[in-house]
Amino acid sequence: MPFASHCKLGVNVDHIATLRQARRESEPDPVAAAQVCKASGADMIVCHLRKDRRHIQDQDLLRLCELKGETHLELSSDPEMVAAALRAKPASVCLVPETPREVTTLGGLNLLDAKDKAVENAVKKLKKAGIEVSLFVDPDPVSVRRAKALGADTVELCTTAYAAAREKKKAAAELETLALAGYLAHEMELGLHAGHALDYHNARAVARLPHMACLNIGFAIVSRSVFVGLKTAVTEMKQLIS
Ligand code: PXP
């Protein structure tokens, strides 16, 4: 019998807000989209409040955090952004690197600069407020160990390199790298998530890695929803990774 995955699905609704912000109108509403996602099998709603507020707005975040069920916020460790998280009180936060004008998140956090206390301070403040903290890291052992030392509850492994691998051999090697980082995270009693650039072709293999608890996926689901509707796009992804 094939190994059954118990991997959860976090659906990122940022790009519903991207569409709304294109006209600065009230539709499509990311909160209404989140409700459709939940009704279609999403285990968690994810959003990224960016410093430039290019998609999700503070008011969206507050409303998403009022919904029943888990809202997971991606955020830079900038104190001003951490303050926004403390106001909204999501169930969990994933700290990510953020640079101005980047098109999307570019890789995991650099946790190796001992002088840079921003992540450490953010973890402390969030945990003190009872918010679970995940750190977005590249799938390497040093970053996973450092995430544990900084007090993270969970690591989210960056899947960009795996998703970008065009040849089978390269993709298998990247998957192995993710698997090894996942074993280490589990060994260190860290929760294990993965995400970024996952789609309907590459997500299943990541969901089936040992100890993988949740995949966070946005762009591929929202893109597919243009053709098949959000309900179907979420249901299909949920079936694919379960
Ligand atoms: N995980 C993290 C930490 C991210 O920053 C993002 C992008 O917001 C995602 C997952 C989702 O990536 P994608 O939109 O490519 O599925």
Q: Which domains does the chain have, with CATH numbers?
A: 8-98+108-241 (3.20.20.70)
CB atoms within 10 A of CB 186: 16
Is 74 considered catalytic here? yes
The strand pairing partners of 44, in sequence order, are: 10, 70
Cβ count near 31 (within 10 Å) = 20
Q: Is the CB of 43 under 6 A from ligand 1?
A: no
Residues 6+ apart with CB under 8 A from 117: none
Q: Is the CB of 74 under 6 A from ligand 1?
A: yes
| Rg of the chain in Å (alpha carbons) | 17
**Local confidence pLDDT in tens for the 242 residues of the chain:** 445 568 999 999 999 999 999 999 999 999 999 999 999 999 999 999 999 999 999 999 999 999 988 899 999 999 999 999 999 999 999 999 998 888 888 899 999 887 789 999 999 999 999 999 999 999 999 999 999 999 999 999 999 999 999 999 999 999 999 999 999 999 999 999 999 999 999 999 999 999 999 999 999 999 999 999 999 999 999 999 99
Closest CA to 198 of 177, 171, 229: 171
**Is ligand 1 within 6 A of the CB of residue 148?**
no
- pTM of the predicted model as reported, rounded to 2 decimal places: 0.96
> Among the options 15, 70, 74, 174, which is catalytic?
74
Q: In the annotation, is 186 catalytic?
A: no
104 CB less than 6 Å from ligand 1? yes
DSSP secondary structure string for all residues of 178-224: HHHHHHHHHHTT-EEEEESS--TTTHHHHHTSTT--EEEE-HHHHHH
Contact 70, 44 (CB under 8 A): yes
Tokens of 22: 């294109």
Ligand 1 atom closest to Cα of 163?
A: 15
Backbone angles phi, psi at 45, to 5 degrees: -105, 130
| Confidence (pLDDT) at 6 | 86
Q: In the annotation, is 98 catalytic?
A: no
* Residue from 12, 156, 178, 221 to probe ligand 1 pocket by mutation (most atoms less than 8 Å from CB): 12
